[in-house]
Structure 1
Amino acid sequence: MPPTTPGLHHVTAIAGDPQANADFYVGTLGLRFVKRTVNHDDPQTYHFYFGDYEGSPGTNVTFFPWSERGRDGEFGAGQTRDTAYLIPPDSVDYWTDRLADDGVAVEESERFGDTVLRFSDPDGIGLELVASAERSSAERASGDEPRASDHAADADAVPWPDGPVPDEHQLRGFHSVTLAVREFGPTEEILTDVLGYERVAEDGDRRRYQTPADGAHSILDLVETDAGRGRMGVGTVHHVAFTAESVDELEAWKEAYGERGLSASGPIDRKYFRSLYCREPGGVLFEIATDGPGFDVDESVEDLGSSLVLPEWLEDERAEIEAALPEFEPPSVAGGAR
């Protein structure tokens, strides 16, 4: 049997304007700008990382900002529909007001007993804030009494002491992602038989899966859609990454994919982690990434995101890369929390 992932590692999407992208995720959502580098496969494109204070696995949403040269994507089957962050249960009013103040339209609903605020970023990428009670997904679906769980407001995100959002309301890392597929079966098989997820709840056209870790970042939802296959581009998610403890685990997953007739590429050195990639049968690109070595291999934690950092194999091209990148001013949080 392959290893069981404890849950989500990061989500990578494609943005348009790099300035608008960074200003929103830092200035509006209050995530820290933890890394400014380039796409290793396309060094003339930035790669931005936004997460908690330390850039902990399970908190990072990352972007390739394609700027004006990028084509628009088209949402459809085989894509991530929404990326959800966890917020404390008593932060719903704060976030409703904050998003409204920044001109963001929000739709409030309830799902599996949790309050969900759904909205889009400046490029149309679907986001959610989930105010989760302190109990597991299965318990909420069944109506059982709450129990203590690190799945909720005490998730392991590290607060940003000087961030634009007060500590008590900061995003607590990922709650889940929602993937849209034409039919549940093929994707569900990979989730359960390869990655170790278990189906724990169902509501209409939505199925919920959770890893046995039952903690922060351990949830994934599938929804069926009649839409055609989506097209990658600005405003869409490029891939979803799950967590591995080691390169040895990546090799085990590569073998498990192969046994199901799927081709996986890697492990690949991404400097901050090692990665394995495979497109699952429903069309979503899955990455599995190691916990380390982490973002402090080339910057101190205090200085994360303060400069353009390149992997060693691109340093000789720094002048050409910097000349090709679009103008960008790192977002300021000088005004403090609000």
Structure 2
Amino acid sequence: MNLKLLKGQHHVSAITANAKKNYQFYTKTLGLRLVKKSINQDDTSVYHLFYADERGNPGTDLTFFEIPHAGNTYKGTNSISLTSLRVNNDKALAYWKNRFEESGVDHDEISFQTGRAALGFRDFEGQRLMLVSDEKNEGVSGGKPWEKSPVPAEYGIIGLGPVTLTVARGEVTSKVLTDVLGFRETRSYPGHESGQPDIRVFETGEGGTGAEIHLEERNDLPQERPGRGSVHHVAFRVEDEKELRKWVDWITKTRLPNSGFVERYYFRSLYFREPNGILFELATDGPGFETDENFESLGQNLSLPPYFESQRESIEAKLKPLDTKD
């Protein structure tokens, strides 16, 4: 089958128990733009919030499902254990370290363990995050920070960086990455715990920070029990609907259980789980978030795909008001 290589990360979707605090942290502290305030299309009683660069370019989206009664996350294997965010250079990390200290954000020291400068930190629910420097990056280009962000543009977040998968059986996930999805293994670096295997790095498309998966195998942890502060799935970029339908055929041919083609309005998708249980999505680059809002007003109002519009009154009645116009 004539498949084009995946282009890199499309988005990462995580879980929050508090949409209001989530909005404050990701827009006011991290300086991302809320480009879409919508609903979980599989459960219309909860918000789906999309944070990104100035217009939600593919590869810049960090999204959250609000699940108000979500419990604590008990960290472990078979999970998406770290989401990283790109900044332009090493100097930006010094800015962020100072900003985190002033804002009381839980953070680590700047390190070079992954082969590039990085700064780990956690949000108010323990979401595991890391800023990575693009100073020496070659590969997928980043996005453009929103000009109205509270963070100066030269230090702004420009997209998603490497995503870390922590699994009990590394080989089965690596085979899916390489044999099914077409990633290539490029390098490795020491794991976080002594006695554990090195973390393996896989990349796709043009490579670089916006197209890497880091695979960590751990035999000393239980399986993760997800809750608030955990990641639901990671999505990879596909050019368009025509290419996505080829991927639907291919994934089905591999006998991996999958969703088939799914209409998400802002993009089209395919979902499947690899053998360790991690949920992958393939998503098209378009149509994009300006399909139903203009650039200036992105994220200010509740956006519903047309097939939910007739239910707007009942949907809004179930949602706790969330002011995103400030």
Name the counterpart of 1:92: 93
Q: Does the 8 A contact of 1:156 with 1:216 survive in 2?
A: no
Name the counterpart of 1:113: 115
How far apart are residue 215 of structure 1 and its match?
4.3
Residue 115 of structure 1 aligns to which amino acid in structure 2? A
**Secondary structure, aligned partner of 2:307:** helix
Unaligned runs of 5+ in 2: 191-197
Q: Deviations over 1:29-52 (max 9, x none)?
A: 110010001111111100000000
Residue 164 of structure 2 aligns to which amino acid in structure 1? T
Q: Which is worse superposed, 250-259 or 178-187?
A: 250-259
Name the counterpart of 2:202: 209
How far apart are residue 188 of structure 1 and its match?
0.7
1:174 partnered with 2:160: yes
How far apart are residue 66 of structure 1 and its match?
1.1
1:302 partnered with 2:288: no
Q: Does the 8 A contact of 1:183 with 1:282 survive in 2?
A: yes
Q: Does the 8 A contact of 1:277 with 1:287 survive in 2?
A: yes
Query: Within 2, Cα distance between the matches of 1:311 and 1:150?
Result: 33
Query: Within 2, Cα distance between the matches of 1:123 and 1:298?
Result: 31
Query: Within 2, Cα distance between the matches of 1:212 and 1:5?
Result: 6
**Secondary structure, aligned partner of 1:91:** helix
Q: Does the 8 A contact of 2:32 with 2:145 survive in 1?
A: no
Query: Within 2, Cα distance between the matches of 1:280 and 1:107?
Result: 31
With the length of structure 2 as denominator, give the TM-score of the two structures.
Answer: 0.92
Name the counterpart of 1:254: 248
**Secondary structure, aligned partner of 1:286:** strand
Name the counterpart of 2:260: 266
Name the counterpart of 2:195: none
Residue 80 of structure 1 aligns to which amino acid in structure 2? I
Q: Does the 8 A contact of 1:23 with 1:331 survive in 2?
A: no
Name the counterpart of 2:48: 47
Q: Does the 8 A contact of 1:116 with 1:128 survive in 2?
A: yes
**Secondary structure, aligned partner of 1:114:** coil
Query: Within 2, Cα distance between the matches of 1:185 and 1:157?
Result: 33
Q: 1:1-338 alignment to 2 at 5 Å?
A: 1=1, 2-67=3-68, 69-87=69-87, 88-108=89-109, 109-135=111-137, 149-150=138-139, 155-204=141-190, 205-215=198-208, 217-226=210-219, 227-330=221-324, 332=326
Q: Deviations over 1:154-191 (max 9, x none)?
A: x3302211111001000111111011111211111111
Name the counterpart of 1:140: none
How far apart are residue 331 of structure 1 and its match?
6.5
Query: Within 1, Cα distance between the matches of 2:209 and 2:93?
Result: 19
Question: How many positions carry a matched residue from both structures?
Answer: 315
How far apart are residue 216 of structure 1 and its match?
5.1
Q: Does the 8 A contact of 1:26 with 1:331 survive in 2?
A: no
Query: Within 1, Cα distance between the matches of 2:288 and 2:205?
Result: 25
Percent identity of paired positions between Structure 1 and Structure 2: 39
Residue 171 of structure 2 aligns to which amino acid in structure 1? G
Query: Within 2, Cα distance between the matches of 1:133 and 1:193?
Result: 31
Q: Does the 8 A contact of 2:300 with 2:325 survive in 1?
A: no
- Compute the RMSD of aligned alpha carbons: 1.6
With the length of structure 1 as denominator, give the TM-score of the two structures.
Answer: 0.89
Q: Deviations over 1:100-140 (max 9, x none)?
A: 111012112212431111111111110000123324xxxxx
Query: Within 1, Cα distance between the matches of 2:312 and 2:143?
Result: 33
Query: Within 2, Cα distance between the matches of 1:112 and 1:215?
Result: 12
